[in-house]
Amino acid sequence: MLKKIGSNMYNCLLENLVLPFADKALGLNIQKKLAWLKKVQWLSGEELEGLQKKRMAQLFRHCSNYIPYYKRIHEEWKTSPGDDPFLTLKRFPYLDRHIIKSESQGNFIDSNRKIHFTDYTSGSSGIQGKFHSDRDSYSMAIAIQMLWWQWAGYRFGDKLFQLGISPKRGLMKGLKDILLRVNYSDAFGISESIIRDNLCRMRNKYGYFFMGYPSAIYEYAKVANKIGWNDIHFNSVVSWGDKLFPHYRDLIEKQFHTRVFDTYGACENTMIAAQCEYQNYHVMTPHIFLEILDENGNEVSPGEMGHVVVTRLDNYLMPLIRYKIGDLAVKADPGAQCPCGRNLPMLTKIVGRDTDIVYTPGGKSLIVHFFTGIFEFIEEIDQFQIVQNSPDDIIIHYVPGEHFSDSTLNSIRDIIYAKAKERFPFQFVEASMISASPSGKPQIIVSRINQPPLQN
């Protein structure tokens, strides 16, 4: 009991003193945004729709005055401030990374605002992109993530095992890990020996949460199942970044005696939906406007699959209006009620491809984010795709971009070997384009082999 009280006191200390101080030191307002979100999540459906409409109208006014790309569009329309923003939205053309890359990036940015955070992404499309956030929009994205973690029962200061793609944590992240009691491990190249070492420390221990990419967490569950370690318990698992497939969830929950709370966002720092305690995906309508459309751009009926098109309502620095992220999803009936009491609209399914894993001859498992975490910083490559025919037959198809040279490939090869900590055979093959999958975006990894068991 005393240990529990001590833990609660530490949680309160972090939430009420340390995190507000960090906000001030970093020039952010995460705590203020989080407090607002905690209230907004319980609004009625009518109140949520009114809030969304108000925020959309404000965004459109801003875009027509300060964003060159959208200012040009507005001048062609001759819209008035009194127009219904939901109807006005339908007049906007779709936006994707190809369009952003074809235009000068300055045409999408409010030059009067300061860039606080830049997200370099390749994501599941394999197309390199650069997206900017100001202080408020970055703070909002972090606050939403914190809210979602709370839905899973996590509070800052709880013991956390996290898988990520930042192997070099640095001084600030290292101090944060110590302060927040985070046990961080690299998800780049996962071997059975690494998984054994990490899980061994959590055997017969309670109170841990587990967060990271579902494909990587699934690999941990597979190893624990293989060696018969049934004494590992996590309070809950929070997944992000790639698709959580039913067989991933089944094994993770059974093996670790827990529940998985999946979150769904885009690499462009857009937080779309997350699962509540009743496992329903709630859409963050105060933050985004979500459309699920058919091939002709018409809204699909509830229960039908369609293309995900997102409008972010709070990034005034680099607005993304009707942005096609290349995913497929199924929306719930608007009248459906969740037992949790939140009136945020719901998705019944997020449809995606099984995120295949590249297996090296030495037994390493390289998840999709191993590659996107490298190529997102290589501006000389416009697009890429990994094809694995056998453990010794790996091909990286690439579309060369501006300033490309043979030294670019040599540099990528060195980075792959350094991060994988293994030298294995693969070849580069130049391509003029990479074909899209049914979702509208290319598949990053195409695996033509059966998944082998992990090795030491």
Tokens of 368: 């999709």
The letter for the amino acid at 69 is Y
Number of domains comprising the chain: 1
The reply to whether 390 falls in a domain is yes
Q: Is the pLDDT of residue 442 over 70?
A: no
367 versus 125: which is more confidently predicted? 367
Domain extent for 376 = 358-447
Query: pLDDT tens for residues 307-345?
Result: 899 999 999 999 999 999 878 889 999 989 999 999 999
Residue 449's alpha-carbon distances to 17, 123, 220, 389, 394, in angstroms, are 52, 23, 20, 6, 11
Between vectors from CA 391 to CA 386 and to CA 394, what angle results, nearest 5°?
30
The reply to whether 155 falls in a domain is no
The reply to whether 156 falls in a domain is no
The reply to whether 389 falls in a domain is yes
The reply to whether 430 falls in a domain is yes
The reply to whether 417 falls in a domain is yes
The reply to whether 60 falls in a domain is no
Bridge partners of 265? 271
Query: pLDDT tens for residues 396-424?
Result: 999 998 899 989 999 999 999 998 889 99
The reply to whether 419 falls in a domain is yes
CATH value at residue 405: 3.30.300.30
The whole-number pLDDT of residue 225 equals 96
pTM of the predicted structure, to 2 decimals: 0.80
| Residue 1: pLDDT band with limits 50, 70, 90 | very low
**In whole angstroms, what separates CA 177 from the centre of its chain?**
20
| Residue 81: pLDDT band with limits 50, 70, 90 | low
Crossing angle between the packed helical segments 214-227 and 246-256, to the nearest 10 degrees: 50
Tokens of 64: 């027509």
